[in-house]
Chain A
Amino acid sequence: MNVQNMILTLQNFWAKQNCLIMQAYDVEKGAGTMNPMTFLRSIGPEPWNVAYVEPSRRPADGRYGENPNRLYQHHQFQVIMKPSPANIQELYLDSLRELGIDPKKHDIRFVEDNWEAPTLSAWGLGWEVWLDGMEITQFTYFQQVGGIDANPVAVEITYGIERLASYIQDKENVFDLVWVDGFTYGDVFKQPEYEHSKYAFEVADQAMLFNEFATYEKEADRAIAQNLVFPAYDYVLKCSHIFNLLDAGGAISVTERTGYIARVRNLARKCAKTYYEKREELGFSMLGEEEREHNGQQ
């Protein structure tokens, strides 16, 4: 199965579970969790089911396109369901079957792995899913997001597209994966991998980036002061990406690191709080009648 068909198969599968099929968000980010479709929407009592592919940038993992497994940018297929359905593990395993992975013919295990994102003030408990010893998915029950207790709890499933594809296509090198007939992963991503790695490690203007960080931080604060959550959050994402770039370039010492993470976290927490308050003002309009009554009683 080529990469494109894998993505389409997963989209179809989760569409049948009544997930909104959304698109990747247009601001750089390190993980699908940071997409506002996950970060903001998993806050508060309103139900939310969504699935999308997220290209995720991790500058420090860039290897100039020379490493068979490590990438500046990889792809996550992200599913969020709130509240977490009782049969979520079974749904997930069904999705693997759709990809042609019959659990009876493999060794699939749920191995404890707890997730924490200090910049988002978020954490959860769950597993990494092992397919014949390879970690293919991160499976997390959010317990706290933006410093707010998750209630109800959202479950997040993050498939590592490249990992899964290299297994399905039996390829040792990520750049040999077939995206569609006639186009390999390398055709599409090798050049950007090289250029982004070179940029992040050697070329990036660090003084400019430090300035940007400060500018975006200020702007996020300004927007949030006006209760404009989504614009503010875009700037938080920008700060986070710039921080990652600076970090990859070795421009941030370990001492400063904690400080920068705290600055991003503070902004993320403010966004989370404001988002909740605004949804509350709007009467949590996505709640059903019954749930709203129930919520009113709490």
Chain B
Amino acid sequence: MGSSNFLLEIGLEEMPARFVTDAMEQLKYKITDWLDENRIAYESAEAFSTPRRLAVRINGIAQKQEDVVEESRGPSKQIAVDENGEWTKAARGFAKGQGIDLEELFFQEKNGTDYVFAKKEVLGKETIDLLPQVETIITEMNFPKNMRWGTFSLRYVRPIHWMIALLDNEVIPLEIAGVTSGRHTRGHRFLGETIEIFSPDSYEEKLREEYVIAEPKQRKEEIRRQLKELASEQGWSIPINEDLLEEVNNLVEYPTVLYGDFSDEFLRLPDEVLVTSMREHQRYFPVEDRNGKLLPHFVTIRNGNKDYLDNVRKGNEKVLRARLSDAQFFFEEDQKVQPEKAAEKLDSIVFQEELGTIGDKVCRIQTLSQRLAEQLDFATEKVASVNRAAKLSKFDLVTLMVDEFTELQGLMGEKYALISGEEEEVATAIKEHYQPKSASDAIPATDVGAVLSISDKLDTIIACFGIGLIPTGSQDPYGLRRQAAGIVQILLEKGYPLPLEELIDETLHVLKEKHVLKEEPATVKNEVISFFRARLKHLLSDHSVRYDIVDAVLEGFSGQVEVLVNKATFLQEKLQDQEFKNTVEALSRVTNIAKDTTVPDVKVEEDLFSEQPEKELFRAYHQMRKELSESLDKGEVALAWESLQQLVPYIHDYFEHVMVMAEDEQVKQNRLHQMILLSREIRRFANFQHIVFPS
């Protein structure tokens, strides 16, 4: 049996660049899935895409579906055969229904009963007769955003203008939104012609003659090659931002790299302003010298050939000149206002309707960061820096530059603060307090920046929870999850001994003072703690800590993040030791008995002790309690563990000689209370009952 090639191309109006690659992959796997489901063999599948087309070629596609043998079950033997051994009416009916002769029926046992079966060979259909089904695959593609056009009801990424569906040289008939399939494709919008494709093999070759490079990888390589060539010709360095390259690649069908210049004067603007203007707004690649210093040039990728490049260069230079003139104007105007004066305007910008203005928020950050700085025993000058930086943390939001380039918030704050004579520590903190902006972003390098960042984020999270704005599912408009993760990251990397609960209490205190809370503080606190625990669970899982250990250390956690992580990694390592299992089992005996540790008025009276092991365990408990506290406060996890371990012989001894559930109610309560006290201490380390040992 021979094989063929199949080509499918969908021609569209320009798709959003960010959708193209995914759409191409989707079309490919949807087609190959369909081939597999339909038992149509093929050798390979190739995908193509440009802004105006999505295409797939299936090489070596079988001309027919594979044949299959289908078995169907009929009536049971008892019903199918009468007492004379003749086929009954039921059996005849079944055979007829299956379209086979009676002699072809056979028996087979199923769940203890014999049934009549029919075997039927289903011959594979011709591929060419099945291929029209790809119409549904095309219409059922998913895109992040769909639209309608003209009078059609189809919702699609952009209007469809042509379709090629070719099995070798034969057109497979499809019709979607008034477009019928054929063998015509369109070349480059301005440089190419509409051409006919006679064989799927020649697809990309023919298109190349019409100024379309249909393979995105080749297009990208071509851009890279041209960038490299230009850089070496000019002695420049052109750093390639991969996201930008991907976007640009999906904005062109035939790339030609060209460069333009801008006036040296603009180099006085901060680099970030220049880069943002070029990269984000114009999709240009900035140019640097070999030492990484920005040069007054830019590189853009034209969708076309080398003709009339001068026009394109001049046009782009003009656009960039206008943008940079604006930026320069903003830069100069902004400097005329002192940061402190600018910060006053924050009182008229709303942060969130129920949470007051950004000015109010800055006030809260100031109070909170001050308290945290004191708790961390910062030197007086450092505390002063925190205070100053907090006051100025958001002033750049009212500058013209940040109004125009939102992504430069913080960064412009730093620049302007330095220009106006603020201390470097203060200026840096203004920039850093937005960090980390993502999971991969660095945390603030300075302590001042770190404290400010924690304060700002705590305020946002807890204030939002305080008015019931709690993230659910995919709904997290204020990015609270990311901010909580940021706080955790900072606490951990900086090793600040700030227990989570205290941070939350401090923040709640400030919010309460400023009358921002709507919900009960206690409720908010609980919600925020579990919110943080969920973030910590992610963090620990990312550190490949076993889930049972995660549960054990997280239960009831509201302390120092660093200690939590140390506990988790410590326990993870200890898992290997046989001794560890024994210790955990001993400790679990205690926590098992004292299930409810929250009972009030726990009091142990030594007078009621009757057995020696009781007394000894109680003495050991007091000793352990002191050591455990000290170790945990210092974050000495191994020492804390040792103090727990020292209890083990006493616990064994105790359970060997003492009955907790004594007959005398008073004795029983006393013993239970002792267990509760012990249990409370043990749980300060972890709830070991979660830990699973292989049996």
Assess the A133–B308 pair: CB atoms within 8 A: no
Assess the A104–B308 pair: CB atoms within 8 A: yes
Assess the B150–A106 pair: CB atoms within 8 A: no
Does B159 touch A at the CB level, under 8 Å?
Answer: yes
Assess the B18–A112 pair: CB atoms within 8 A: yes
Please provide the chain B residues from 230 to 265 with a CB less than 8 Å away from any CB of chain A in the complex: 251-252
C-beta contact mask, A42-85 vs B, less than 8 Å → 1, else 0? Answer: 00000000000000000000000001110000000000000111
Q: Could you tell me the distance in whole angstroms from the C-beta of B19 to the nearest C-beta in chain A?
A: 8
Assess the A153–B322 pair: CB atoms within 8 A: no
Q: Which of B151, B178, B325 contacts A152 (CB 8 A)?
A: B151
Does A105 touch B at the CB level, under 8 Å?
Answer: yes
- Given known A69-B322, A110-B13, contact A133–B282 (CB-CB < 8 A): yes
Q: Which one, B297-305, B387-395, B555-563, is touching chain A?
A: B297-305
Roughly how many angstroms separate A68 CA and B51 CA in the complex, as a whole number? Answer: 34
Q: Could you tell me the distance in whole angstroms from the C-beta of A117 to the nearest C-beta in chain B?
A: 16
Residues of chain B lying within 8 A (CB to CB) of residue A131: 315
Does A127 touch B at the CB level, under 8 Å?
Answer: yes
Assess the B307–A153 pair: CB atoms within 8 A: no
Roughly how many angstroms separate A155 CA and B159 CA in the complex, as a whole number? Answer: 12
Assess the B150–A109 pair: CB atoms within 8 A: no
C-beta contact mask, B338-352 vs A, less than 8 Å → 1, else 0? Answer: 000000000011100
Assess the B325–A112 pair: CB atoms within 8 A: no
Q: Which of B16, B302, B325, B353 contacts A107 (CB 8 A)?
A: B302
Roughly how many angstroms separate A125 CA and B18 CA in the complex, as a whole number? Answer: 14
Q: Could you tell me the distance in whole angstroms from the C-beta of A291 to the nearest C-beta in chain B?
A: 9
Assess the A104–B307 pair: CB atoms within 8 A: yes
Does B17 touch A at the CB level, under 8 Å?
Answer: yes
Assess the A106–B161 pair: CB atoms within 8 A: no
Does B191 touch A at the CB level, under 8 Å?
Answer: yes
Q: Which of A111, A143, A172, A250 contacts B148 (CB 8 A)?
A: A143
Does A39 touch B at the CB level, under 8 Å?
Answer: no
Assess the B312–A125 pair: CB atoms within 8 A: no
- Given known A104-B191, A134-B319, contact A143–B147 (CB-CB < 8 A): yes
C-beta contact mask, B6-26 vs A, less than 8 Å → 1, else 0? Answer: 000000011111100000000
- Given known A105-B307, A132-B314, A133-B319, contact A86–B302 (CB-CB < 8 A): no
- Given known A106-B315, A107-B304, contact A112–B16 (CB-CB < 8 A): yes
Assess the A89–B321 pair: CB atoms within 8 A: no
Residues of chain A lying within 8 A (CB to CB) of residue B147: 124-125, 141, 143, 153
Roughly how many angstroms separate A89 CA and B186 CA in the complex, as a whole number? Answer: 14
C-beta contact mask, B298-342 vs A, less than 8 Å → 1, else 0? Answer: 001011100110011011101111100110010000000000000
Roughly how many angstroms separate A125 CA and B13 CA in the complex, as a whole number? Answer: 12
- Given known A143-B148, A153-B150, contact A105–B14 (CB-CB < 8 A): no
Residues of chain A lying within 8 A (CB to CB) of residue B318: 132, 134, 167, 170, 172
Size bracket, chain A contacts: 35 or more
Does B149 touch A at the CB level, under 8 Å?
Answer: yes
Assess the A103–B350 pair: CB atoms within 8 A: no
C-beta contact mask, A132-147 vs B, less than 8 Å → 1, else 0? Answer: 1110000001010000
Does A227 touch B at the CB level, under 8 Å?
Answer: no
Residues of chain B lying within 8 A (CB to CB) of residue A127: 14
Q: Could you tell me the distance in whole angstroms from the C-beta of B210 to the nearest C-beta in chain A?
A: 14
Roughly how many angstroms separate A100 CA and B373 CA in the complex, as a whole number? Answer: 66
Does A150 touch B at the CB level, under 8 Å?
Answer: yes
Does A8 touch B at the CB level, under 8 Å?
Answer: no
- Given known A114-B145, A255-B350, contact A133–B316 (CB-CB < 8 A): yes
Residues of chain A lying within 8 A (CB to CB) of residue B304: 104, 107
Assess the B314–A153 pair: CB atoms within 8 A: no
- Given known A85-B150, A134-B318, A134-B319, contact A253–B145 (CB-CB < 8 A): no
Q: Could you tell me the distance in whole angstroms from the C-beta of B54 to the nearest C-beta in chain A?
A: 16
Assess the B315–A132 pair: CB atoms within 8 A: yes
Assess the B322–A68 pair: CB atoms within 8 A: yes
Does B190 touch A at the CB level, under 8 Å?
Answer: yes
- Given known A86-B159, A132-B312, A134-B315, contact A153–B149 (CB-CB < 8 A): yes
Q: Which residue of A is nearest B160, CB measured?
A: A86
Does B619 touch A at the CB level, under 8 Å?
Answer: no
Residues of chain A lying within 8 A (CB to CB) of residue B348: 250, 253
Please provide the chain A residues from 150 to 175 with a CB less than 8 Å away from any CB of chain B in the complex: 150-153, 155, 167, 170, 172
Residues of chain B lying within 8 A (CB to CB) of residue A254: 349-350
Roughly how many angstroms separate A155 CA and B149 CA in the complex, as a whole number? Answer: 8
Q: Could you tell me the distance in whole angstroms from the C-beta of B258 to the nearest C-beta in chain A?
A: 9
Residues of chain A lying within 8 A (CB to CB) of residue B148: 141, 143, 150-151, 153
Does B189 touch A at the CB level, under 8 Å?
Answer: yes
Does A261 touch B at the CB level, under 8 Å?
Answer: no
Does A7 touch B at the CB level, under 8 Å?
Answer: no
Q: Could you tell me the distance in whole angstroms from the C-beta of B688 to the nearest C-beta in chain A?
A: 51
Q: Could you tell me the distance in whole angstroms from the C-beta of B213 to the nearest C-beta in chain A?
A: 16
Assess the A112–B303 pair: CB atoms within 8 A: no
Roughly how many angstroms separate A110 CA and B159 CA in the complex, as a whole number? Answer: 14
Assess the B145–A125 pair: CB atoms within 8 A: yes
- Given known A107-B302, A111-B251, contact A141–B149 (CB-CB < 8 A): yes
- Given known A127-B14, A134-B315, A150-B148, contact A109–B190 (CB-CB < 8 A): no
Roughly how many angstroms separate A172 CA and B319 CA in the complex, as a whole number? Answer: 9
- Given known A86-B161, A127-B14, contact A132–B150 (CB-CB < 8 A): no
Q: Could you tell me the distance in whole angstroms from the C-beta of B149 to the nearest C-beta in chain A?
A: 5
Q: Which residue of B is nearest A150, CB measured?
A: B148
C-beta contact mask, A86-121 vs B, less than 8 Å → 1, else 0? Answer: 100100010000000001111111111010000000
Assess the A89–B190 pair: CB atoms within 8 A: no
Residues of chain A lying within 8 A (CB to CB) of residue B51: 110
Residues of chain A lying within 8 A (CB to CB) of residue B300: 107, 133
Q: Which of B145, B151, B191, B308 contacts A106 (CB 8 A)?
A: B308
C-beta contact mask, B598-630 vs A, less than 8 Å → 1, else 0? Answer: 000000000000000000000000000000000
Assess the A109–B303 pair: CB atoms within 8 A: yes
Residues of chain A lying within 8 A (CB to CB) of residue B189: 93, 103, 108
In the complex, 26 of the A-B residue pairs with CB atoms within 8 angstroms, ordered by the A residue number, are: A68-B322, A84-B149, A89-B13, A103-B189, A104-B190, A104-B191, A105-B307, A107-B300, A107-B315, A107-B316, A108-B190, A109-B252, A111-B17, A124-B147, A125-B158, A132-B312, A132-B319, A133-B320, A143-B148, A150-B148, A151-B148, A155-B149, A167-B318, A253-B348, A254-B349, A254-B350
Instruction: Point out residues on B near A: beta carbons under 8 Å.
Output: 13-18, 51, 145, 147-151, 158-159, 161, 178, 189-191, 251-252, 282, 300, 302-304, 307-308, 311-312, 314-316, 318-322, 325-326, 329, 348-350, 353
Supply 15 further A-B pairs (C-beta < 8 A) apart from A167-B315, A172-B322. A86-B161, A104-B307, A106-B311, A107-B302, A107-B315, A109-B14, A125-B145, A127-B14, A132-B314, A132-B315, A133-B300, A133-B319, A134-B319, A141-B147, A153-B149
